[in-house]
Amino acid sequence: MKANDPVYIAGHRGMVGGAIKRKLETLGYHNIITRSSGSLDLRKQEEVDSFFAAEKPAYVFLAAAKVGGILANNTYRAEFLYDNLMIAANVIHAAWKHGVTKLLFLGSSCIYPRMAPQPIKESFLLTGLLEPTNEPYAIAKIAGIKLCEAYRDQYGCNFISVMPTNLFGIGDNYHPQNAHVLPALIRRFHEAKMNNKPSVTVWGTGTPRREFLFADDLADACVYLMQHYNEREPVNIGKGEDLTIKQLAEHIREVVCYKGEIIFDAGKPDGTPRKLMDVSALRRLGWKHSTSLKEGLVIAYRDFLQQDQLKLHA
């Protein structure tokens, strides 16, 4: 991938796509192609086909997706399945049809069985039942991975797939109902601090273990793999380290400087008990994360405050 090659980032306005765009720009790539969802609906095959025919990207980062936390996944089950299926199918098919040199598809760690042995190896895919609360999203992502494999098998396409762990960072979604756990907690602790509330309630028991990777580290890994990896097998992207939701909440309380109590609502779902990625394949390929959880949380909270100020002055 050369600096002047046309590179299309699908989903550049999202947290992941935005991080990939920043990384490419930092490295000197100057022929980056983007489209907002308002000007290109990736769920519509004709629009996607026309876009690829006109722009002729040589490389594609497929980061576009409908995403959300447990509540959003479980509430909008049809949308999460349909939208993400259509996005993956349309972009991957167009990439083959219009001769894209290489495509990187971003899956998700939720594709793995709910009770997968830990840490989760890439080979555990499709070896057990999925977590019910995000099954529609997971099935759509599995379909994207299998599309990449099928187009490679039948047509020889250099399409690769990566499975990121839980992500956070600049441009995250802090919606009170639809956010993932980490940005949702940042918002909750901040609002409790601003309103002098004595406590913050966190869903579940606090015992599930999760792994969190800063989005700019993910972007660095994606660009690295686009340059150095050309195999059929998906690759996990993560830190290989996890912590409990209780520990995460305590870290966020510290970063936000909130002094109140944390209460865990055991009546709400915990989701998967543990989700730690085996990143040994990625390490063997020569990549490792560089941002600690604490460093990332400080940057994320600063980004949340900036987003909050922009809304106040809009």
The reply, when asked if residue 156 is annotated as ligand binding, is: no
AA letter at 218: L
Q: Residue 15 annotated as binding?
A: yes
**Helix 215-228 vs helix 15-26: crossing angle, to nearest 10:** 60
Q: Is 107 annotated as a binding residue?
A: yes
213 is in an annotated binding site: no
In the chain, the amino acid numbered 262 is I
**285 annotated as a binding-site residue:** no
| Beta carbons within 8 Å of 269's beta carbon, 6+ residues apart | 70, 133, 203, 204
180: annotated binding-site residue? Answer: yes
11 marked as binding residue: yes
166 among the known binding-site residues? yes
- The reply, when asked if residue 77 is annotated as ligand binding, is no
Q: Using DSSP bridges, classify how beta strands 274-275 and 199-203 pair: parallel, antiparallel or unpaired.
A: unpaired
Tokens standing for 160? 């690769």
Contact 160, 235 (CB under 8 A): yes
C-alpha 144/C-alpha 173 separation (Å) is: 23
Gap between the Cα atoms of 100 and 192, Å rounded:
49
Torsion of CA 71, 188, 291, 3, to 10 degrees: 60
Q: Is 210 annotated as ligand-binding?
A: yes
Q: Is 194 annotated as a binding residue?
A: no
Establish whether 50 is an annotated binding residue: no
Q: Is 112 a catalytic residue?
A: no
Q: Which two tokens stand for residue 218?
A: 């993910």
What is the C-alpha R_g of the chain?
Answer: 19
Measure CA of the first residue to CA of the last residue in the chain; give whole Å.
39
**Is residue 289 a known part of a binding site?**
no
Question: Which position among 29, 59, 112, 137 bears the catalytic label?
Answer: 137
Residue ranges at the known binding site for substrate: 188, 203, 210, 270
Indicate the annotated binding residues for NADP(+).
Answer: 11-17, 106-109, 141, 164-167, 180
Q: Which residues are annotated as a binding site?
A: 11-17, 106-109, 141, 164-167, 180, 188, 203, 210, 270
Catalytic residue ranges: 137
